[in-house]
């Protein structure tokens, strides 16, 4: 019941947003998703032991060029560069965590897997809210309207 009333409150707040606020809200949601993603990447890199980093590099064999895998695994900066390459090569993004999910499952890092699931949930809820806001303010659909 609390969840339902909270959702109703959010819907009521969304309906009162002006078009300018709507644009700012969409940009904010995108940046929020990106910051949640970056936060997880930092948690991921800093919590991996050296043997898990080696396993991650091995996991990436065949996914990215071997020249990009020639990194100093004890250096966090090098690990971040590896993650950055995975992102730029579209193997990893804040909408696709499958590479990390499979790896974390394989190395039995349930703590990071649980954190990843929370991140995915936060990003998904943000997208749902973004889509709802778009449907109300861009497409003009409102609750009770004949179009819905």
pLDDT tens, residue by residue, 86-135:
999 999 987 889 999 999 999 999 999 999 998 888 888 777 777 777 77
Write b or e for each residue in 48-76: b if 16 or more Cβ atoms lie within 10 A of its Cβ, otherwise e: beeebbebbbebbeeebeeebbebebeee
Whether residue 3 has pLDDT greater than 50? no
**SS3 (DSSP) at 131:** helix
Whether residue 8 has pLDDT greater than 70? no
Whether residue 49 has pLDDT greater than 90? yes
Better-scored residue on pLDDT, 61 or 123 = 61
At residue 2, the pLDDT reads: 45
- The CA dihedral of 26, 29, 30, 35, to the nearest 10 degrees, is 160
CA distance 105 to 110: 7
At residue 50, the pLDDT reads: 96
Whether residue 17 has pLDDT greater than 70? no
Lowest-confidence region among 58-62, 125-129, 135-139: 135-139
Q: Binning pLDDT at 50, 70 and 90, where does residue 1 land?
A: very low
């Amino acid at each position: 019941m609390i969840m339902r009333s909270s959702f109703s409150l959010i819907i009521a707040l969304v309906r009162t947003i002006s078009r300018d606020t709507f644009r700012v809200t969409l940009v904010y949601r995108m940046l929020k998703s990106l910051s949640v993603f970056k936060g997880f990447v930092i948690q991921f890199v800093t919590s991996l032991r050296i043997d898990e980093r080696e396993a991650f590099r091995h996991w990436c064999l065949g996914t990215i060029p071997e020249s990009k895998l020639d990194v100093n695994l004890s250096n966090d900066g090098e690990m971040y560069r590896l993650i950055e390459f995975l992102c730029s090569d579209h193997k990893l993004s804040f909408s696709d965590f499958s590479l990390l999910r499979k790896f974390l499952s394989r190395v039995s890092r349930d703590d990071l897997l649980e954190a990843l699931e929370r991140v995915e949930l936060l990003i998904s809820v943000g997208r749902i809210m973004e889509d709802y806001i778009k449907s109300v303010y861009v497409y003009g659909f409102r609750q009770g309207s004949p179009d819905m």
